[in-house]
């Protein structure tokens, strides 16, 4: 999709579809007023019929308005027409994207220069427009006999206030497109069934992403290599499966380094990649077990983020580690009560084999120590307690560094991929005590999200670390079932700030 900045008068602009804003009670924006005058008050006449109420994000497609060059006019509701919050702007743009992609328009112009945002500017708006259009264009069809039809929309332009930099608008569009593509890549991986998206398949996606790219390299550790490193915790999860676990390591070197200078410490992402989770011997109930293909959405978001980092050519070094495994019951599966030794040397009593995400992540985190990272963010669909606490709207955040947590919270607010910090207090640690090992893998029925993070914190003492539990936000159930691609936009906002 091509994007551009255009400052032409909307009345004289030749386009397949002109988008203008209308508020509640038929209150017209500046651009809508111009169209109304040029069309001989035709717009006012249509609105007076009551077919469009101007509610936020609502749309109405009009044909045949005289006095203008646009073939169609799309009205988009913006409520009271005051300064819009970021969430309100997103809702408006999502409505526009859905309507335009469903139309037959080949190009569109968003005449929204008079639109005011409460906490951002038109550069943010341009980036968000591109992201919303790319996200809205995604439709899963990989395992369907009929494939999704391609949209006819090929280009979108935006009007902006005087003094707006075309170069900055172009850069914002490019960021939005890259972010949208990263999100869609994560959604596609999450939506694939477990018989296709295996640990080996995930590894291949990472390897394919690095092909032809000088600044991205990938290595994949086999189970034999992991065993030599002492990753008994991770390997305990894959023990019951015929699918071998994979430790996927992606290294992106984008930082600008002077000759003979040392490279800066990389920022690190760690993703949980359980490609299907039966619960192992602690078998889950059958209801909605099909959704356990989404238990690798943390890994999917890391791959999507890395793809966008490469596309944006961010001047930063990033290491991504994905612990991929399948959790299955069999005669070789790990049993409740078994004790395993992690790569760190800590022994773990496995009281519940369905608390497996932390078992793969702890060895991945220990492996990551060798990079001496500047910061580490792990992403995991880890606990049902996070779903009970936040539902699908907010991801849980826990961290051993309050400044890092505050920055991620701010990044989430700006990217509209929000998180909320939970306490990681020492008082919770004793819940993981074991009579038979250094630590148990569960902490009892209370504070499940916190005790899961407490478990991981035992393996993160050597770096600044944050844990994102996306169990509620990673996918939707019901009629809209599917992966969301979160928290790709949050992670990208964070890495972009580190690259600035």
DSSP assignment of 371-426, as one string?
G--SEEEEEE---HHHHHHHTTT-EEEEES-HHHHHHHHHHHHHHT--EEE----G
Q: Are 252 and 310 in contact (CB under 8 A)?
A: yes
Sign for the CA dihedral angle at 262, 266, 361, 447 comes to: positive
Q: Name the burial class of residue 394, with classes exposed (0-12), middle (13-18) and buried (19+) by CB atoms within 10 angstroms of its CB.
A: middle
* Cα angle value 118/175/131 (rounded, 5°): 65
Pairing of strands 246-253, 216-221: antiparallel
* Cα angle value 207/212/215 (rounded, 5°): 85
Report the catalytic residues: 284, 358
Helix (H, G, I), strand (E, B) or coil at 35: helix
**CA atoms of 273 and 327, how far apart (whole Å):** 10
**CA atoms of 500 and 490, how far apart (whole Å):** 16
**CA atoms of 123 and 176, how far apart (whole Å):** 10
**CA atoms of 482 and 475, how far apart (whole Å):** 5
Cβ neighbours of 352 (radius 10 Å): 14
Helix (H, G, I), strand (E, B) or coil at 94: helix
């Amino acid at each position: 999709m091509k994007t551009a900045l255009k400052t032409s008068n909307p009345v004289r602009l030749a386009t397949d579809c002109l988008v203008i804003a209308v508020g509640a009670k038929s209150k017209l924006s500046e651009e809508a007023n111009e169209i109304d005058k040029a069309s001989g008050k035709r717009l006012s006449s249509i609105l007076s019929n009551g077919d469009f109420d101007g509610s936020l994000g609502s749309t109405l497609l009009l044909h045949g308005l005289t006095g203008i060059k646009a073939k169609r006019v799309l009205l988009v509701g913006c409520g009271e027409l005051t300064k819009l919050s970021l969430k309100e702007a997103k809702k408006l743009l999502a409505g526009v994207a859905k309507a335009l992609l469903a139309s037959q328009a080949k190009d569109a112009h968003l005449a929204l220069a008079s639109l005011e945002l409460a906490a951002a500017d038109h550069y943010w708006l341009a980036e968000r427009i591109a992201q919303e259009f790319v996200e809205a264009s995604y439709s899963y069809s990989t395992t369907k006999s009929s494939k999704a039809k391609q949209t006819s929309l090929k280009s979108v332009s935006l009007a902006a206030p005087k003094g707006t930099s075309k170069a900055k608008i172009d850069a914002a569009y490019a960021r939005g497109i890259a972010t949208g593509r990263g999100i869609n890549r994560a959604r596609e991986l999450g939506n694939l069934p477990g018989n296709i998206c295996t640990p080996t398949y995930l590894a291949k996606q990472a390897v394919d992403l690095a092909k032809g790219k000088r600044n991205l390299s990938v290595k994949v550790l086999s189970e034999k290599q992991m065993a030599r490193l002492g990753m008994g915790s991770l390997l305990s999860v894959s023990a019951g499966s015929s699918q071998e676990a994979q430790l996927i390591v992606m290294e992106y070197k984008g930082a600008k380094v002077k000759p003979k200078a040392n490279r800066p410490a990389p920022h690190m992402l760690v993703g949980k990649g359980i490609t299907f989770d039966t619960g192992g011997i602690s078998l889950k109930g059958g209801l909605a077990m099909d959704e356990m293909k989404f238990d690798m959405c943390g890994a999917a978001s890391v791959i999507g983020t890395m793809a966008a980092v490469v596309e944006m050519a961010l001047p930063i070094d990033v290491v991504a580690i994905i612990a991929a495994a399948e959790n299955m019951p069999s005669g070789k599966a790990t049993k409740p009560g078994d004790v395993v030794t992690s790569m760190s040397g800590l022994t773990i009593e496995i009281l519940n084999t369905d608390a497996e995400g932390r078992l793969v992540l702890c060895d991945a985190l220990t492996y990551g120590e060798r990079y001496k990272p500047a910061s580490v963010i792990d992403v995991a669909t880890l606990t049902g307690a996070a779903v009970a606490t936040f539902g699908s709207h907010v991801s849980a955040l826990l961290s051993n560094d309050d400044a890092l947590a505050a920055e991620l919270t701010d990044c989430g607010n700006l990217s509209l991929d929000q998180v909320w910090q939970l306490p990681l207090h020492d008082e919770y640690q004793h819940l993981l005590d074991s009579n038979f090992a250094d630590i148990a893998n569960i902490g009892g029925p209370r504070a499940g999200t916190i005790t899961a993070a407490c478990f991981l914190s035992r393996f993160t003492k050597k770096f600044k670390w944050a844990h994102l539990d996306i169990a509620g936000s990673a996918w939707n159930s019901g009629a809209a079932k599917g992966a969301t691609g979160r928290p790709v936009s949050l992670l990208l906002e964070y890495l972009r700030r580190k690259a600035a």
